[in-house]
Amino acid sequence: MTRALSTPPVIASGVLSGSPQPVLPAGGGLLMRPWEPADAPVFLSAYQDEELRRWHTRRPSTGTQVLEWFDAYRQDWEREKGGHWAITRDGTEVLGRIALRGLDFDDCVADVAYWVLPAARGAGVASRALSALSVWALDEIGLHRLELDHSTRNPASCGVAVKCGYALEGTKRSAALHDDGRHDMHLHARVRGV
Neighbours of 11 (CB within 10 A): 17
pTM of the shown model = 0.92
Which structural domains are found in the chain, ordered by start?
A: 24-191 (3.40.630.30)
Percent of the chain with pLDDT over 90: 86
pLDDT for 142-187, tens place per residue?
999 999 999 999 999 999 999 999 999 999 999 999 999 999 999 9
pLDDT digits (tens, 9 = 90+) for 43-55: 999 999 999 999 9
What are the contacts of 71-80 at 24+ separation with CB within 8 A? 73/34, 73/35, 73/99, 74/21, 74/34, 76/101, 77/16, 77/17, 77/21, 77/34, 78/17, 79/17, 80/13, 80/14, 80/15, 80/16, 80/17, 80/105
Contact 150, 55 (CB under 8 A): yes
Mean pLDDT score of the chain, rounded to an integer? 93
What does the DSSP assignment read for 83-143?
A: EEEEEEETTTEEEEEEEEEEEETTTTEEEEEEEE-GGGTTTTHHHHHHHHHHHIIIIII--
Q: What is the pLDDT of residue 3?
A: 57
